[in-house]
Amino acid sequence: MSLLRRIAAPAAFTDPLAATRRRPAPSTQLALAAGVLATLAMPPLRGTGWFVVPALALLFGALQRAPSPARVGWWFGVAHQGTLLHWLFLLGPDATISSRWLIPAAAIAAILYAATYYLLFGWSAGLVRRRLGPTGLLLLAPPLWTAMEALRTVGELGFPWCLSGAAWLQTPLYPLAATAGELGLGAATALTAAALAALVPAVLAAGRPVRPTGAALALPVAAAAAWLALGVGAGGVPTAGRAPALRVAAVQADVSLHDKWFDATAKSTTEPYTELTAAAAREGADLVVWAETAVPAYLLQDKRLLAWVRAVADTNDVFLYTGYPDAALGADNRQERTNASGLFDPDGRLIDRYAKHHLLPFGERMPFQRWLPQLGKLDLGQAEWTPGRSPQPMTVAPDSLRALRIAGLICYESIFPSLARQAARDGAQALVNITNDGWFGKTAGPVQHAEMARLRAAETGLPVVRCANNGVSFITDGHGAVRARAGLGGRAVVAADVAPGDASTPFVRHGHVPLAFALAVWTIVVLAASLRARRREPA
């Protein structure tokens, strides 16, 4: 039998676990176990990233024989997202939700929503299995998986929180994201998992003769080729040049999310930022970064706080990039409130600004208001910000040889590869991610959120400066390696030299086009092989 026929022949499928038991384990139990195992591969755990491969192998194996593949996908999603996002149940008292009893309801809704993507994956896998058999499903599981993860990155309800590629953040493999992004890492992971699921029957046969399936022959080759392609692409990324570096400091002020909004306790916010900025300036900082909404008022309308910010920049002779709420009249003369940030020069002048573009659904804005404006009247405690324009670079020290073009990513925006890539294509030389994760509490949430910012560095080749009110704050190089860091909780100044990044990674240049092309070719080959095999079957 030719390799092409072996690849698609459904009859060649062997149950991966048949040699170790008489009766198959319930597919739901396998799905639940795989979902938990996938979470164990994710931050904040270290040394367990490779768990994602057996987790997906278990999932793919369960899909091959389950009575209801959609149900398998659903229970995998519930187990994975339920354990990954468990910290949603532990949100602190300052969470922007109107009633405390809504927190568990909101957490359950978020988990079930995220699980819906895996339900869709399982359903589509079931369609493939009905047409091509279990082996065809195994061969097409990687492109289906990648398509599902790509779907998680788009739209107002997009939620690409810890995609499968994020499992490699604690390993030496994460810089390979420079080639095809986080989705490329996930695709290579899915191919490896499918290869494992195909090879298990031969390993478990214990010496008994087992004819290799087409999947067992093709998938390991495809997985090896995928990792090789990622390595070759990332290997061509230039190292940091010799351009003069700018000294950058991120101020982690660890101020109370409650007290900062009241005049009686305003000093609890202003004093830490004043003192820590002075300390950063004494250490030679050229640019000081404050957190998201570090200034707890509509800054440009508050003369007292605006004078304070200008004085801090002027007194310390530093560029100052800070987050603050902003308000202005829109095109239709309606007030537009934004989650904004601004860059002040050493003379205290506001020289550029950026307002958050991708808002957190239900937390910062009710989704779909573009089509149903009445949704904004629902009160779930959301801020009701107006979306700003996409991130655009702003220049620090424009008259200096150490000029640096930075692009802001505010909070949730750091989990979207497309925003960082667009900023890089627009000329950014460094990414500055300001956030306020205090409402997460001291849970896994802030660590997961922070680690995803490192992937943006690896994808774009740009250094990332991350400033979080209560941590985690850090500065990375253009490969995502951390140069300075402050952990969760406590006040700190995180400082490092930041040289302009070279945004010439394959991912910045080409995006996901090569990945989509490769997966499309793989899918066409599998379908063609299946069609050819069916035509040769005796009537």
Backbone angles phi, psi at 394, to 5 degrees: -125, 145
Catalytic residue among 162, 260, 356, 451: 356
Catalytic residue among 364, 411, 413, 459: 411
**CB atoms closer than 10 angstroms to residue 429:** 26
Q: Are 140 and 215 in contact (CB under 8 A)?
A: no
CA–CA distance, 510 with 351 (Å, rounded to integer): 32
**Cis peptide bond N-terminal to 361, omega within 30:** no
Q: Are 230 and 180 in contact (CB under 8 A)?
A: yes
Q: What is the 3-state secondary structure (H, E, C) of 145-205?
A: HHHHHHHCCCCCCCCCCCCHHHHHHHCCCHHHHHHHHHHHHHHHHHHHHHHHHHHHHHHHC
CA–CA distance, 484 with 5 (Å, rounded to integer): 54
Catalytic status, residue 467: no
CA–CA distance, 379 with 366 (Å, rounded to integer): 9
Catalytic residue among 149, 292, 364, 413: 292
Edge-to-edge strands, sheet with 246-252: 350-355, 335-344, 319-329, 287-289, 246-252, 492-498
Catalytic status, residue 411: yes
Catalytic status, residue 303: no
Beta bridge partners of 228: none
Active site amino acids: 292, 356, 411
